[in-house]
């Protein structure tokens, strides 16, 4: 089967980053040739939201999400629920974030990261849009804060580029959240991570690149781009005993359910 006949989604990329923005048209064309027909580009600093929004407005294949990345939380003005709700009214904005906790590089800003995360959770609850979570070396605090929010009001959530341990995976799945598979899961030494995904319900899994980072083999160490989600899909499909075509169809159906605004907009186009 030709890759172009697949129907894949890159649920998390950064098309506005310098490595990619100069080649947007070519990158989207290569994605479509690889069967990647939709992508969600992520705003990580809200001052850049107009630039990210413009990409989604200019390209029917592109949707976007907006939030403050935890590694930027101490450098950026603290957003408000009201600001995020206002941004969410744009029809091509399909998620809140990415937000979360990163104690690997920025542990000194734990308090502001946690405050920012709680604001984003409340915005997801208010809007009904899925929350997009970045978590690194913060499993216990992440589980505690996400569960506390869920106890107040349910919300949808994607654990983006999931590389945490089995306990956080189980807690996230118990709350009804999705786990997103990046190129890291295709690395030869990532068997423990593949085992976590193999134990998850198949309807809770998404695919992403996080491009320009984390390219899967055979492009590991090089610049990543949305087309390469097809390589991650090919590497992971056997974990579930599925063909590439079946795995692509399943993860795309999952995306449409978890990101219903994107599904409605694509259907209406």
The torsion angles phi and psi of 236, rounded to 5 degrees, stand at -90, -25
| pLDDT by residue, tens only, the chain of 269 residues | 557 689 999 999 999 999 999 999 999 999 999 999 999 999 999 999 999 999 999 999 999 999 999 999 999 999 999 999 999 999 999 999 999 999 999 999 999 999 999 999 999 999 999 999 999 999 999 999 999 999 999 999 999 999 999 999 999 999 999 999 999 999 999 999 999 999 999 999 999 999 999 999 999 999 999 999 999 999 999 999 999 999 999 999 999 999 999 998 877 76
Q: Is 266 left (phi over 0), alpha (psi -120 to 50) or beta?
A: alpha
Q: Is 199 exposed, middle or buried (0-12, 13-18, 19+ CB in 10 A)?
A: exposed
CA dist list (Å): 103 to 107, 108, 113, 165, 200: 4, 8, 9, 15, 25
The parent domain of residue 170 ranges over 3-268
User: Does residue 34 contact residue 250 with C-beta atoms inside 8 Å?
Assistant: no
Q: So what's the pLDDT on residue 156? A: 98
Sign of CA dihedral 174, 149, 95, 52: negative
Q: How many domains does the chain have?
A: 1
* Cβ atoms within 10 Å, residue 11: 34
CA distance linking residue 158 with residue 216, whole number of Å? 20
CA distance linking residue 237 with residue 193, whole number of Å? 14
Our CA dihedral for 114, 139, 103, 145, rounded to 10 degrees, sits at 0
* Cβ atoms within 10 Å, residue 127: 20
**H or E element, residue 258:** helix 244-258
CATH assignment of the domain containing 210: 3.20.20.140
CA distance linking residue 228 with residue 64, whole number of Å? 19
């Amino acid at each position: 089967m030709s890759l172009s006949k697949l129907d894949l989604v890159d649920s998390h990329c950064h098309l506005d980053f310098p490595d990619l923005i100069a080649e947007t048209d070519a990158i989207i064309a290569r994605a479509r040739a690889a069967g990647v027909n939709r992508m969600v580009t992520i705003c990580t600093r809200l001052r850049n939201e107009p630039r990210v929004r413009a990409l989604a407005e200019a390209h029917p294949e592109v949707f976007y999400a907006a939030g403050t990345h935890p590694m930027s939380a101490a450098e950026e003005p603290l957003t408000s629920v009201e600001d995020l709700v206002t941004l969410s009214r744009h029809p091509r904005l399909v998620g809140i974030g990415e937000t979360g906790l990163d104690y690997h590089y920025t542990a000194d800003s734990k308090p502001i990261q946690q405050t920012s995360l709680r604001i984003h959770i409340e915005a997801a609850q208010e809007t009904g849009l899925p929350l997009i979570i970045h978590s690194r070396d913060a499993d216990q605090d992440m589980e505690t804060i996400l569960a506390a929010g869920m106890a107040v009001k349910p919300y949808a959530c994607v654990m983006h580029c999931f590389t945490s341990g089995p306990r956080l995976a189980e807690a996230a799945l118990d709350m009804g959240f999705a786990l997103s598979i990046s190129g890291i899961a295709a690395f030869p030494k990532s068997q423990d991570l593949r085992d976590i995904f193999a134990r998850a319900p198949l309807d809770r899994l998404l695919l992403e690149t996080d491009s320009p980072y984390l390219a899967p083999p055979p492009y590991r160490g090089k610049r990543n781009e949305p087309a390469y989600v097809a390589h991650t899909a090919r590497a992971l499909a056997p974990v579930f005993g599925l063909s590439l075509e079946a795995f692509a169809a399943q993860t795309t159906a999952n995306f449409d359910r978890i990101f219903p605004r994107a599904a409605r907009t694509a259907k209406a186009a």
